[in-house]
Structure 1
Amino acid sequence: MLDIRALVERVGPALLRVVDLPESTDCVADVVIAEPGGAPAVAGGDLVLGVAVGDRGAAVELVGGCGAQGAAAVLLKPPISTDDAVVEAARRSGVALVEVLPGTAWAQLVWLIRAALAGTGTQEPDTRSPGLGDLFRLADAVADVVDAPVTIEDAHSQVLAYSARQDLTDPARVSTIMGRKQPDDVLAKFRARGTFRQLSRGGSAVFVPAQQDGTLPRLVVPIRMGGELLGSMWAVVPGEVSEERSTAFADTAPLVALQLLRWRAVADAERQRSAGQVRLLLEGGEGWRTAANELAVPDEPYRVAAIEVPSPEGTAEGHRLAMWEWITRGIGRRPLVTEIGTVLYALVPDRAGSGGWPSLREALVSHDATPPPLVAVGTAVAVADLPRSRAEADELLSLLRTGHLSRRVAVHEDHWHQLVLNRMAGAATDAGISSLGPLPTLREHDRTQGTDYLSTLHSWLRHPGDPRQAARELRVHPNTFRYRMKRLTQLVDVDLDDPDVRSALLVQLLAARWAQHG
């Protein structure tokens, strides 16, 4: 337990200064925020913060009332803290008077005092976790300052922390906390009112009146550091808030910004460590078992999803980072994501439910990014075979890039036959088969005479004995198709009745087509 003098020394002279101290002082029991217009209900040993006290009369009344209830000390900011009448009232009441130095955020003070009373000091959090515990404690301190339930959110309206007090709430706040994100319909209403536009431009607290659907008023303040909007704080309030309390709420933003930066640094370090282990799983080799143990990967089938984010030149890294953060929020408790070159890779369990492949597939298909990402997914394999699933995903991704596949999401089981053709085309091109047989003559005739004999032959081979279907594929009349085939066989000497000849021609034509699009 700490008395007033020891507590001031613990918090530090940069924030607190003793103005008047009784001969005997009690140990501090708790921190209480004073309401304007009188003394709060306090117990013996309480430390009372005059957050909303702005004039001499209110300060004198507060000090007198707190002394009568046995409070240990009253904390005020200058110039009220050193006003002669206020100092005299403190002496008569037997309560300590402590000055909160200018520039001190009330939330920072609440946080530090509670840490000191708990004997925790201000040591760094355990770096094995993202440091969210400190954000939750800070949310509690901010809630005491503004006297309202508070959520701390990042720039994407994801809830990072929220205060424990729930005395004032509505369905929107409940949904926000349960889903760890403001619901889309709630966000749309705040956007329509211009709330986010005000947050992006200013630095003071923004009051949002109650809405017709029962959503209670909000007091919102942006969280910035060096011009960057890191997030925002939302307080559910019963109505208009005094200027003093609104200012005190806004004053907490720099402290929260520092904590957010620290949390982000720890989270980034954890993400990079995890990404390195995921790369080991994708590459295989001797280190994969250690990586699997480090990541606590369950013994179940996984798919590798290769994700490429098309972006304007010079913005690719930012687009990939945004996609990385979106995936990290969207595919499970501990998503396994890494970046190799310009491609993001996600390891996704091949099972139904939250975090499984079906839920990610649905999210990726409906993702409204512009331009949309290209997603290629390998087969489900054991953890030891992840390099094979990655190789399949990479090969599919190359088909998406070249336009061989027109879908946004390509899965190995759906497109294995196109992978066969792709590999065959590569092998055939390397073997130089395009110069064999009658095809060079037909190709030169098409080039010089404007005919379409190669496409005609390809359709005939695809639909043997069915000239009507072949003609439909070429969008010509069946008689036109028959005429072309007659002229083609007059131009070159080829035995189309020989099945081996037909197979060789089809391989040549398929290889040429895939090589042309590659």
Structure 2
Amino acid sequence: MITVRGVVDRVGPTLLHVRLDGRASHVSDVVIAEPGRRDQVGDGDLVLGVSVHAVREAVELVRHCGAQGAAAVLLKPPLATRAAVRAAAQTCELSLVEVHAGAAWAQVVWLLRSVLDAAADESELGDTPIGGLGDLFRLADAAAAVVDAPVTIEDANSRVLAYSARQDRTDSARVSTIMGRRVPDDVLARFRSRGVFRELSRGRTTIFVPAQRDGTLPRLIVPIRMGGELLGSMWAVVPGPVADERAAAFADTAPVVALHLLRRRATEDAERRRSAEVVRSLLAGAGSVRLASAELNLADEPHRVVAIASQAQDTLGAEGMRLALWERITAGVGSRPAVAELHDALYAVVPDRDGAGGWPALRAALAEDRTPPLVAAGPAVALGELPASRALAEELLSLLRAGLVAGPVIAHEQAWPVLVLHRAAVAVAGAGAAEFGPLPVLRAQDREAGTAYVDTLYEWLRHPGDPRAASRALRIHPNTLRYRMSKLAELVEVDLDDPDVRLALLTQLTALRWA
């Protein structure tokens, strides 16, 4: 059994958007509301207002469907947001779903039926992927037959999702793309310099790229769009310019591929949400560790919790920012990483071992990014102790954000002294212990006379017996340091030969800097 929300979630927000929730608990079928023939509407149906163009017609359809027990009425904008239509739907307790203005009704029908069929299969046979890669490979073969050329299907990030079986025409760029399942950077640069990706973003139907001097064969490229959004592209390796009729036929396959990409995205989003909930429970110490680790496919070995946040903004509220960080994490820890968004950061559970998917690989991948995020890794622990690793990773991330520790990537074993000092400083500041002894006098003198006694004393205590190191930290001459210390001794009465006095002063001075 699947609900209206479940259907919309699987299709994705690009195509469908729930404008009003109704009472229906399940969806049974998809029907088209034909003029003069609405007797076919039944309990749990999704009713498509294909021929509805006026508010009056929409209100009439909603009332009829509500009386028949339908689950939802699907309308093109702006009908689903009109006050009269919404009022009628509220009265009938019927869901209103808005279909993207640019979507073809035939595509919507085909996609909805696919979702319902898949949901029926899941209820009988267990979880079954929707719109699997096998479908995309078959579509690549079909598109290759249409254009009479080898074809690859790529997503919007130039990752190869599928390719046709025929290999009669190829070049090194195609071979490296298929082998690496992604267009190599040098190949991307060559096509980018020719304006290919600019043309893709502008919504061209087909793009022809002539042969290049390095031996790259001509390409016929078709953008894959749905509702104005670029979902990916299809690339055909052609011998030369393609006849308009054949190019148009190749372009006509794009809407079908777009539906499969939307279905694939919906499936991946559902898997991510499910995985994220399991990760959250694991990080919170709730539920069974054994069941959660089995669900996430985590081996019985030490893992770290890695907290990741963008440096561009304090939160990850922007969808694009979340997706960008997700792509970086995915590249480092595998195709299904144990990752969840929590508060204003992403948290990844990463095995503490070398090789693909381990913490060193993820660290290297994130640190080398052109715009690296802030990354804080907790200590390596057993799976049952992940909440403790998460707490330390979270604390380290806050220190990175405050600039109290050098980044952008830091691990617990590097930063534990900073954690100790920060916690001690917070405790001292909270207890008001920084107001005892000679420190208030020195601070007042610095404020009034512009001296630097507090900083001088801090570095002198941090580098005991090493005036040269202390003066380097202050960027002054050692003689200047000695002079300041002599004047400081005249200003306040303090026994710097007493180790307890030195420790107390250093604790106070640390609190001033770290709290």
Question: Per-residue deviation at 1:159?
Answer: 0.9
The answer on whether the counterparts of 1:349 and 1:356 sit within 8 Å (CA) in structure 2 is yes
The answer on whether the counterparts of 1:280 and 1:288 sit within 8 Å (CA) in structure 2 is no
Helix, strand or coil for the counterpart of 1:220? strand
Instruction: Provide the rounded CA distance (Å) in 2 between the counterparts of 1:346 and 1:379.
Output: 13
Residue 362 of structure 2 corresponds to residue 360 of structure 1: yes
Residue 24 of structure 2 corresponds to which residue in structure 1? Answer: none
Among all aligned residue pairs of Structure 1 and Structure 2, give the percentage whose two residues are the same amino acid: 65
* Pair 145,330 (structure 1): closer, same or farther in 2 beyond 3 Å: farther
Instruction: Provide the rounded CA distance (Å) in 2 between the counterparts of 1:469 and 1:300.
Output: 43
Question: Per-residue deviation at 1:227?
Answer: 0.7
The answer on whether the counterparts of 1:303 and 1:357 sit within 8 Å (CA) in structure 2 is yes
* Pair 359,387 (structure 1): closer, same or farther in 2 beyond 3 Å: same
Helix, strand or coil for the counterpart of 1:311? coil
Helix, strand or coil for the counterpart of 2:299? coil
Helix, strand or coil for the counterpart of 2:493? coil
1:99-144 C-alpha deviation (Å, 9 max, x unpaired):
xxxxxx9xx9xxx9xxxxxxx9x95487543622211221111111
Instruction: Provide the rounded CA distance (Å) in 1 between the counterparts of 2:420 and 2:303.
Output: 23
TM-score if structure 1 supplies the norm length? 0.73
Residue 403 of structure 2 corresponds to which residue in structure 1? Answer: 403
Residue 220 of structure 2 corresponds to which residue in structure 1? Answer: 219
1:482-506 C-alpha deviation (Å, 9 max, x unpaired):
2211121121111111111111111
Instruction: Provide the rounded CA distance (Å) in 1 between the counterparts of 2:406 and 2:469.
Output: 24
The answer on whether the counterparts of 2:328 and 2:366 sit within 8 Å (CA) in structure 1 is no
Helix, strand or coil for the counterpart of 1:360? helix
Q: Give the gaps of 5 or more residues in structure 1.
A: 1-104, 113-119
Instruction: Provide the rounded CA distance (Å) in 2 between the counterparts of 1:301 and 1:316.
Output: 33
Residue 285 of structure 1 corresponds to which residue in structure 2? Answer: 286
Instruction: Provide the rounded CA distance (Å) in 2 between the counterparts of 1:504 and 1:335.
Output: 47
The answer on whether the counterparts of 2:314 and 2:344 sit within 8 Å (CA) in structure 1 is no
Helix, strand or coil for the counterpart of 1:181? coil
The answer on whether the counterparts of 1:333 and 1:355 sit within 8 Å (CA) in structure 2 is no
Residue 475 of structure 2 corresponds to residue 471 of structure 1: no
Residue 33 of structure 1 corresponds to which residue in structure 2? Answer: none
Residue 456 of structure 1 corresponds to which residue in structure 2? Answer: 456
Helix, strand or coil for the counterpart of 1:464? coil
Instruction: Provide the rounded CA distance (Å) in 1 between the counterparts of 2:328 and 2:469.
Output: 46
The answer on whether the counterparts of 1:219 and 1:236 sit within 8 Å (CA) in structure 2 is yes
RMSD: 2.4
Residue 433 of structure 2 corresponds to which residue in structure 1? Answer: 433
Helix, strand or coil for the counterpart of 2:355? coil
Which amino acid in 2 is paired with 1:439?
Answer: L
Instruction: Provide the rounded CA distance (Å) in 2 between the counterparts of 1:360 and 1:339.
Output: 17
Residue 390 of structure 2 corresponds to residue 394 of structure 1: no
Question: Per-residue deviation at 1:164?
Answer: 1.8
Residue 308 of structure 2 corresponds to which residue in structure 1? Answer: 307
Q: Tell me whether 471-480 or 219-228 shows the greater mean CA deviation.
A: 471-480
Q: Tell me whether 449-458 or 282-291 shows the greater mean CA deviation.
A: 282-291
Helix, strand or coil for the counterpart of 1:481? helix
Residue 347 of structure 2 corresponds to which residue in structure 1? Answer: 345
Q: Tell me whether 294-303 or 437-446 shows the greater mean CA deviation.
A: 294-303
- Equivalenced residue count is 398
* Pair 471,384 (structure 1): closer, same or farther in 2 beyond 3 Å: same
Helix, strand or coil for the counterpart of 1:269? helix
Helix, strand or coil for the counterpart of 2:136? helix
Which amino acid in 2 is paired with 1:428?
Answer: V
Residue 328 of structure 1 corresponds to which residue in structure 2? Answer: 330
The answer on whether the counterparts of 1:332 and 1:356 sit within 8 Å (CA) in structure 2 is no
Residue 506 of structure 2 corresponds to which residue in structure 1? Answer: 506
Residue 416 of structure 1 corresponds to which residue in structure 2? Answer: 416
Which amino acid in 2 is paired with 1:499?
Answer: P
Question: Per-residue deviation at 1:237?
Answer: 1.4
1:376-426 C-alpha deviation (Å, 9 max, x unpaired):
111211111111111111111011110112321011111111111011111
Instruction: Provide the rounded CA distance (Å) in 2 between the counterparts of 1:219 and 1:163.
Output: 15
The answer on whether the counterparts of 2:173 and 2:187 sit within 8 Å (CA) in structure 1 is yes
* Pair 128,427 (structure 1): closer, same or farther in 2 beyond 3 Å: farther
Residue 8 of structure 1 corresponds to which residue in structure 2? Answer: none
Which amino acid in 2 is paired with 1:318?
Answer: G
Residue 181 of structure 2 corresponds to which residue in structure 1? Answer: 180
Residue 203 of structure 2 corresponds to which residue in structure 1? Answer: 202
Question: Per-residue deviation at 1:312?
Answer: 5.2
Which amino acid in 2 is paired with 1:502?
Answer: R
* Pair 324,150 (structure 1): closer, same or farther in 2 beyond 3 Å: same
Residue 130 of structure 2 corresponds to residue 163 of structure 1: no
Residue 249 of structure 2 corresponds to which residue in structure 1? Answer: 248
Instruction: Provide the rounded CA distance (Å) in 2 between the counterparts of 1:138 and 1:317.
Output: 29
* Pair 216,123 (structure 1): closer, same or farther in 2 beyond 3 Å: farther
The answer on whether the counterparts of 1:302 and 1:380 sit within 8 Å (CA) in structure 2 is yes
* Pair 500,313 (structure 1): closer, same or farther in 2 beyond 3 Å: closer
Residue 319 of structure 1 corresponds to which residue in structure 2? Answer: 321
Helix, strand or coil for the counterpart of 1:437? coil
Question: Per-residue deviation at 1:469?
Answer: 2.8
* Pair 313,352 (structure 1): closer, same or farther in 2 beyond 3 Å: closer
Residue 3 of structure 1 corresponds to which residue in structure 2? Answer: none
1:44-55 aligned at under 5 Å gives the runs: none
Which amino acid in 2 is paired with 1:430?
Answer: G
Instruction: Provide the rounded CA distance (Å) in 2 between the counterparts of 1:511 and 1:392.
Output: 20
Q: Give the gaps of 5 or more residues in structure 2.
A: 1-103
1:144-168 C-alpha deviation (Å, 9 max, x unpaired):
1111111111110011111122222
Helix, strand or coil for the counterpart of 1:199? helix
Which amino acid in 2 is paired with 1:200?
Answer: S
